[in-house]
Amino acid sequence: GAVVSQHPSWVICKSGTSVKIECRSLDFQATTMFWYRQFPKQSLMLMATSNEGSKATYEQGVEKDKFLINHASLTLSTLTVTSAHPEDSSFYICSARVQGANSGANVLTFGAGSRLTVL
C-alpha cells in the first residue's frame, strides 16, 4: 500500500529557532498533502492543504508566515515552523492523497507524525 514517511519523528529546539518537518510519499506521487496539528489529548486539526507546484491553502486562524509549507515535488512536502515558541509545541501529522486509489479506503494515508518540543 501507499506509504508516507515523515521526518523527524521527534525534535527538540530552542525558542526562536526554525524547524523543518518533511513528509515524503515513498511509492506514489502525491499532488495533494495535508498538514495537521494535534495538541495533547485533543483531536487533529487541519492546518493547511499543500498542492504540488502552488501555494498552500491555509485554514482559518493558521498563520501563514509562522507555518511555511512547501510542496516542490510530487513526493515531498515540508512544513517549517519559523521562530518557534513553546506554544508551538505539538504533534504534527501529514497525510497524502493517493491519486487513482481504487476505493475510498485507500485515498488517504498518514505519516507517523512529528513531535515538536520548543524549550
Which positions touch another protein (CB under 8 A)? 32, 34, 38, 42-46, 49, 91, 93, 95, 97, 103-105, 107-110, 112-113, 115
Asked if 72 contacts 80 with a C-beta cutoff of 8 angstroms, the reply is no
Q: Specify whether the CB–CB gap between 35 and 99 falls below 8 A.
A: no
Question: If you ran DSSP here, which 8-state letter would residue 43 be given?
Answer: -
Smallest gap from residue 16 Cβ to another protein (A): 26
CA–chain centroid gap for 84, Å, is 16
Per-residue cell: 34: 495535508
Closer residue to another protein in complex, CB, 28/34 = 34
Smallest distance, another protein to C-beta of residue 104, A: 5
CB of 67 to another protein, least distance (A): 17
